[in-house]
Amino acid sequence: MKQLGREVSIRIIVIAIFLISILFGCSVSKEKEQEVKEFKDIKIGAILPLTGPLSYLGEDEKKAIDLAIKEINRKYNKEIIKVLFEDSKGSANVAVTVADKLLNMDKVSAFITSTTTISEVILPIANKNKIIIAMLCMDPVIQKESPYAFRLYESMEVEATRLLEYYSENKERKKVVILYLNHPDTVKELTDYIIPGFMQKGINVVYYEPYDAGEKDFKDKVKRIKHTGANSLMIIGHGFEYASLFEALAQQNLIGKIEITGGWGFIMPNKVPANYLEGVIVASPKYIFLKNERAKIFEESFSKTYGYAPNLDTAFAYDAMNMLAEGLIKGLIGSRGNADTVSYKLINSIHNGVMGEVSIDNYGSLELPMGLGIIRQGGIVPY
């Protein structure tokens, strides 16, 4: 009887603990619910190139951000996040002016910026005023300049590293020519990572040559490549000039005869015929060829809303806004938090998004699964 009594007592204690946990959970839930109701809307200043040469980029990012915000606000049953869009026009001076307005007149709690050039000039403003900045750019070290800065985009360093890993295979047979877009981002990737990496690994680079944005005539450049007898061509750019470049390669009968590699530019929409791209080696986020359920839902939602399929930039902007918004909501703690608590929440969270399960390291860098793909029949599959 004593043993039975002891078992009954234990059960009563367990049931009591269970009931207390339910009641406590309900009270916490109600407290959180009340906190969200009383929470004032959080304003984010989005500085994007909505006009000018990079307007194609800014418009797509804006659409992805709008989509993310609608979903977040629907989740909380109120307009908890409000995004104020400003046009940088691709100009650093314009960006500084609109950032000042967003900060002092609109009282934003965070910035989201596009491109390295614009992020570089807004970062000191965010740091000085202790507000969060999320940057859609490839500079691998820019986020280290401030505890409030986060680079939520792929890194040019990681892209270069994946390509260098590929070239390390049979490196003694490689004879490489590099064509790169004459743009600050691609120049930095080339001079800081690709060329030093080739030199360190002892890979034969015949020469490297820039081309201009919007360039149409690649005949002379391709003739030089053919004359050297190079067996590998690395192309680093945005993709817009690739149609003209590949046409010149076809005219010199180099398609299928010379190995072609690259990164970001091959992932973006371009007008290169699929048969020209067959076999191209691409360094890219694994999201491109290993899409999860969240990615499929995002692509379906974006296509339904805007009438065309999303690209890589829209995916990054969508994920970045989701990460930033959740960090702000959790970190501001019903208006009792600040940029430091938001920073803590962003770093100490696992984010499940379009790009898969990702996190942010202690320096504010997005830790993104990157890999190598190969183009087959117009699509990128794992290499």
Q: Which fold has domain 157-289+371-382?
A: Rossmann fold (3.40.50)
Distance CA 196, CA 174 (A): 16
What is the helix (H) or strand (E) element at residue 16, kind and residue range?
helix 2-38
Each residue of 57-97: pLDDT tens digit?
999 999 999 999 999 999 999 899 999 999 999 999 999 99
Q: Which positions ≥6 away from 177 have C-beta within 8 Å?
A: 205, 206, 207, 208, 209, 224, 225, 228, 230, 232, 233, 234
Q: By C-alpha distance, which of 309, 301, 314 is closest to 379?
A: 309
Distance CA 282, CA 260 (A): 9
Task: State the pTM of this model.
Answer: 0.81
pLDDT for residue 212: 95
Decide if pLDDT at 20 tops 60.
no
The CATH number of 42-154+292-370, from 3.40.50.2300, 3.20.20.70, 1.10.150.80, 1.20.1250.20, is 3.40.50.2300
Q: Which of 24-38, 115-129, 214-228 has the lowest mean pLDDT?
A: 24-38
Distance CA 131, CA 146 (A): 10
Read off the pLDDT band of 27 (50, 70, 90): very low
Read off the pLDDT band of 282 (50, 70, 90): very high
| Angle between the N-to-C axes of helices 293-306 and 312-332, in degrees from 0 to 180, rounded to the nearest 10 | 110
Read off the pLDDT band of 231 (50, 70, 90): very high
Domain chopping of the chain, boundaries: 1-32, 42-154+292-370, 157-289+371-382
pLDDT for residue 37: 54
- Compute the residue count for the chain: 383
Q: Which positions ≥6 away from 142 have C-beta within 8 Å?
A: 116, 119, 120, 123, 135, 149, 151
Each residue of 293-311: pLDDT tens digit?
999 999 999 999 999 999 8
Percent of the chain with pLDDT over 90: 75
pLDDT for residue 22: 39
Read off the pLDDT band of 53 (50, 70, 90): confident
Q: Which of 158-172, 312-326, 329-343 has the lowest mean pLDDT?
A: 329-343
Distance CA 62, CA 305 (A): 13
Domains 42-154+292-370 and 157-289+371-382 share a fold: yes
Percent of the chain with pLDDT over 70: 89
